[in-house]
Structure 1
Amino acid sequence: MPELMTPEQIAARTSRAVAAATAAGRDLGLEVTEPTVLYDLFSVVVHLAPSPVVVRVPTVLMPGSDPEIQAARQRRELDVVRWLVEQGAPVVPPSPLVPLEPVRRDGFSMTFWQLVDKTAEPDFVRGARMTADLHATLREYPGELPFLSSDEPDAVRAGLTALEGRPDLMDPADLDRAQREWAVLAPLVGSRERFEAEFPGVDLQPLHGDAPAYNVIVTADGPLHGDFELTALGPVEWDLASFGPECADAYDEAAQRRGLRRLDQRALRFIEAVGMSRTLMCLALVPQLPSLADLLKPSVEHWRELPFAGGVTG
């Protein structure tokens, strides 16, 4: 694993992403005179001003990340969001000014979205209620989706493997436990059949896939769901993990109103254990994004206090 990137290297990566987004936008016929970075963490999000178009350029990728897997995820995201727009769901729509497909430019794979103006931070409890409405709509999505992101077990395993020999990033005792936990959890994440056998009665459906109550953009016209990069087939608990009991109660209330089932507490504990493993693997991204070390520290400390594999199995 490489050493930590310097601020100068990170700034250069951001500049390359902005240049790639700008060139791709111009090639697609957009007027771009003042590209502006709106967000820069795992992705660089660029407003191609004065065009009402925002480009999301993933820049921080897991070790061994496959460009084809990334592009496939982006195609699924665009298709799901296109369909949700057609249903009248509150989502950030893809830009109608460019073709509905990811664009690869200068080593980056990017997607183009309609500009919306953020007016406030999301309310997680309100977002949990919105998630129930989103799930009710997504149940009718006609496309095929992988079960809980079919590459997830390999991605977590690769991240934990990359941490071997890096005590500066993860304590060896923590890494040993994390790898043993993932050996228990991964088979149920990677196999729909094994998950259904372990959790009978927990039905599966299309999901947002990546903390929808967090990935809400509040606009003057109301809140909109965004960032469907990890959309997948799975239990609804996947979208509610780690938001706490208040959000779970808000979801259950809204779900019952829409004729959906309440959250299964055992499945929720399992999904939260999976979420902790996914969080721990992000330590492998610290060389690409050094600020992650401090951001992840509270989660690692919390994980040390939890029962093995969430106390659900193993």
Structure 2
Amino acid sequence: MNMLADEATAILVEVCESVGLDARDARLLRVRSNAVFKLRDEIVVRIATAPDAMTRLPVVLAVARWLADQGFPTVRPADELCDQPLVYDGRVVTFWHYVPASGRPTTRQLGKILRSLHLLPVPPFPLKRLADPLAEVRHSVEHRKEVLSPCQRAWLRDRVDELTTRWESLETDAPAVLLHGDAWIDNLLRCSDGHAVLCDWDGVAVGPREWDLVHTYHGQRRFGLTEADVDEFAGAYGSDLRGWHGYPTLMEVRDMYAIGIHIRNATRDPFSRKELPRRLDSLTRGDGQARWYLTEPA
């Protein structure tokens, strides 16, 4: 049983009724950091599962509005429905205009759109700095004791401390930029006319551009992207991360970052319960090529 999905579905019905939307036949698109539903009204409802949502989501909405005003290809908040975000039964809810996707976006499109994003000025309002990308993993290790053995927790503490020290020693000549924060190909939507828009701004921050770039390289390492995919991405962006001295450290930090959500969700999400041991096993064995999954493998 997926408790996260069940809890979110119950909230969806009531919160939609409160703003005059029809939740009947709502389609669950995914459950991870958010439970994401698509309504018949061409509205996407995102119900946050993360504990810091109330402090984070007002900034996420502000950035999405600002980017839309700049003409940047992004999903748009459905602000005409209500003042956002809503808090309902302790969960933070946001509403977005649905973007019909048609076909698979390419890593070339992702490289071009990230290049455009990183050339924009930083928005004129406070944004968090990406100073400690493993902060949420560290918090989950300390507070989700029921899903980790004492040996796993000890190993994770030491490894997170080591990688944090190595992250802090990285140097980049490029100025800090506006980061998407989770610039993975699955957060790019290809529209019917072929152009693409970027969605899921929950990780937005100011920091080194390399953090946005590493997701595609990590996608080859863990999630099935090909070397050709990475080559196309690097060509479109205009820079290849593989030539940077900090690349090995950044890939290892990204590896560790990618288990945090599954530690947090393992007690209530069947997929996280299965995926967490897979990822932990490969990390503790030092296996840098083991395949990981974003959804249940067929």
TM-score over 0.5 for the pair: yes
Q: Distance in 1 between matches of 2:88 and 2:155?
A: 40
- TM normalised by structure 1 equals 0.75
Cα–Cα, structure 1 residues 106 and 159, in superposed 2: closer, same or farther, change >3 Å? same
Are 1:233 and 2:209 an aligned pair?
no
Q: Distance in 1 between matches of 2:115 and 2:5?
A: 36
Q: Which residue of 1 aligns with 2:293?
A: none
Deviations 1:253-310 (A, max 9, x none): 3333xxxx65462333333222222223344221121212433455445433268xxx
Deviations 1:53-78 (A, max 9, x none): 2111123x4xxx3xxx3112111111
Cα–Cα, structure 1 residues 145 and 267, in superposed 2: closer, same or farther, change >3 Å? farther
Are 1:219 and 2:195 an aligned pair?
no
Q: Distance in 1 between matches of 2:229 and 2:114?
A: 10
Contact conserved, 2:36 with 2:47, CA < 8 A, in 1?
Answer: yes
The offset of 1:121, in angstroms, is: 3.2
Deviations 1:176-233 (A, max 9, x none): 33321211233576xxxxx4x6414243111000134331122213321100001011
Q: Which residue of 2 aligns with 1:295?
A: 275
| Identity value in percent | 22
Q: Which residue of 1 aligns with 2:124?
A: 142
Contact conserved, 2:134 with 2:256, CA < 8 A, in 1?
Answer: no
Q: Which residue of 1 aligns with 2:173?
A: 201
> Residue 94 of structure 2: which of 73, 95, 111 is its match?
111
- Structure 2: which amino acid aligns with 1:184? E
Are 1:186 and 2:164 an aligned pair?
yes
Q: Distance in 1 between matches of 2:170 and 2:55?
A: 29
Q: Distance in 2 between matches of 1:212 and 1:199?
A: 23
Q: Distance in 2 between matches of 1:148 and 1:77?
A: 15
Contact conserved, 1:170 with 1:283, CA < 8 A, in 2?
Answer: no
- Structure 2: which amino acid aligns with 1:39? L
Cα–Cα, structure 1 residues 52 and 200, in superposed 2: closer, same or farther, change >3 Å? closer
- Structure 2: which amino acid aligns with 1:179? R
The offset of 1:99, in angstroms, is: 3.6
- Structure 1: which amino acid aligns with 2:250? I
Q: Which residue of 1 aligns with 2:219?
A: 243
Q: Which residue of 2 aligns with 1:32?
A: 22
Q: Distance in 1 between matches of 2:129 and 2:229?
A: 24
Contact conserved, 1:37 with 1:44, CA < 8 A, in 2?
Answer: no
Are 1:276 and 2:252 an aligned pair?
no
Q: Which residue of 2 aligns with 1:157?
A: 138
Instruction: Please give the root-mean-square deviation of Cα atoms over the aligned residues, in Å.
Output: 2.9
Contact conserved, 1:83 with 1:141, CA < 8 A, in 2?
Answer: yes
Cα–Cα, structure 1 residues 234 and 306, in superposed 2: closer, same or farther, change >3 Å? farther
Q: Distance in 1 between matches of 2:86 and 2:254?
A: 30
SS at match of 2:95: strand
SS at match of 1:94: coil
Cα–Cα, structure 1 residues 140 and 262, in superposed 2: closer, same or farther, change >3 Å? farther
Q: Distance in 2 between matches of 1:204 and 1:116?
A: 30
Q: Distance in 1 between matches of 2:26 and 2:146?
A: 39
Cα–Cα, structure 1 residues 19 and 301, in superposed 2: closer, same or farther, change >3 Å? closer
- Structure 2: which amino acid aligns with 1:278? Y
Q: Which residue of 2 aligns with 1:192?
A: none
The offset of 1:83, in angstroms, is: 1.0
Q: Which residue of 1 aligns with 2:286?
A: 305
The offset of 1:153, in angstroms, is: 4.3
- Structure 2: which amino acid aligns with 1:155? E
- Structure 2: which amino acid aligns with 1:47? K
- TM normalised by structure 2 equals 0.78
The equivalences for 1:5-84 within 5 A come to 7=1, 10=2, 13-28=4-19, 30-32=20-22, 34-42=24-32, 43-49=34-40, 51-59=41-49, 61=50, 65=51, 69-84=52-67
SS at match of 2:96: strand
Q: Distance in 2 between matches of 1:22 and 1:251?
A: 40
- Structure 2: which amino acid aligns with 1:41? V
Contact conserved, 1:17 with 1:44, CA < 8 A, in 2?
Answer: yes
